[in-house]
Structure 1
């Protein structure tokens, strides 16, 4: 039910933004499609309170955004993205890989200043993400085990001991820097820092200190109509 409500909210926000952008097209608004690669990780602490030591995991993102002029050289840029996140960890002979797929709503404030025939872009803002699927892979030698990730806010006695659990909701901040050419083609560097933990409260573990947050960066290419 929560997922359905979030999808409805995303659709309403994007539809409203698109209408506003169409009404301001003469002021350099417009819709953009974009996509690119991610390098993601988990930051935080394990159940003992020790710092997580993970490796970056490659992924991708794709979607669209709307550019709405709000002041000279300043724009509100809401979007709707599909993005993969996760991390990789090797402990002893076992390599664990966690891949999570999110629908995200970034809400950026972007400053654009003309340089040459194009525009330098610098932006920041919050994002809200909702996990729609996930998979954990464990490899030891020639043995590989795959488990679907279950999304919940709380884990209790009786829940599967071998099932990987994550919270569905993610929230954090974006920073972007890029260049948009006069014809509408643009490239940008993106950075994200999660601000809420994505691991559920595990009532099976006494004094659980686990605190896992998404973090990462990426490179995007896109075209604004």
Structure 2
């Protein structure tokens, strides 16, 4: 069974096993938080691609998230669906060089990439003492890309000349004619603490959908299309939510 289907089934079972005597209460929360965001790096990005030496590495960026949370709680268990604006991405460095002495070239590019997502997580939350105490949570999410920016510098050289560095600042495009998929899906899980209306959580978002597609416009940087390498969201999240009774 697909991991998302398994988690969704587990969510339903947990909700169904809540004590019948527990009174259901509803709250609306405001959430804000910090993301430490990264995407995975396909192994094909490092090594040899035809007559080209290829290397790539990624590092995390810090971004943010904000949105609203609806809570339906019954005893120690609660369902917390949310609608969030969440920024993710990475810092990306690539380099290529020719292995053919008759066609010498070198490229080096560094970019900071920030992708904006509307995210719909559905977490099941267990709070040790009901309205306060340590928490465990997990649940699936789906997300829709709504923009983003790629900013950085490209350096190129060949056997004749070394070109001046070129800076770029581009909007991220999505759709069938690009390398970027607009939909993402995965799971969130983590721990937290609840004290009355205030909830603080430390979580991890594990993307399960490849963010790149091969049927878009192909851009080859001297023999290797880095934009076609597989990439999955990986996000550590520190969030705070304040709930209001409905």
Normalised TM-score (structure 2): 0.68
Gap change, CA 1:224 and 1:75, over 3 Å in 2: same
Please report how far the alpha carbon of residue 140 of structure 1 lies from its aligned counterpart in structure 2 after TM superposition.
Answer: 5.2
> For this pair of structures, how many residues does the alignment match?
188
CA distance in 1, matches of 2:138, 2:62: 23
What is the 5 A alignment of 1:11-26? none
Normalised TM-score (structure 1): 0.74
Please report how far the alpha carbon of residue 154 of structure 1 lies from its aligned counterpart in structure 2 after TM superposition.
Answer: 5.0
Confirm or deny that 1:129 pairs with 2:149: no
Unaligned runs of 5+ in 1: 1-25, 156-164
Gap change, CA 1:42 and 1:52, over 3 Å in 2: farther
Tell me the equivalent position of 2:98: none
CA distance in 2, matches of 1:107, 1:187: 17
Tell me the equivalent position of 1:62: 66
Structure label with greater radius of gyration:
2
Picking from 173, 190, 211, the partner of 2:187 is: 173
Confirm or deny that 1:91 pairs with 2:114: no
What is the 5 A alignment of 1:24-63? 27-45=24-42, 48=45, 53-63=57-67
Please report how far the alpha carbon of residue 49 of structure 1 lies from its aligned counterpart in structure 2 after TM superposition.
Answer: 7.3
Confirm or deny that 1:110 pairs with 2:114: no
Unaligned runs of 5+ in 2: 1-22, 48-54, 96-107, 156-164
Gap change, CA 1:73 and 1:118, over 3 Å in 2: closer
Confirm or deny that 1:188 pairs with 2:207: no
Task: Say what the alpha-carbon RMSD is for the aligned residues.
Answer: 2.8
CA distance in 2, matches of 1:44, 1:52: 8
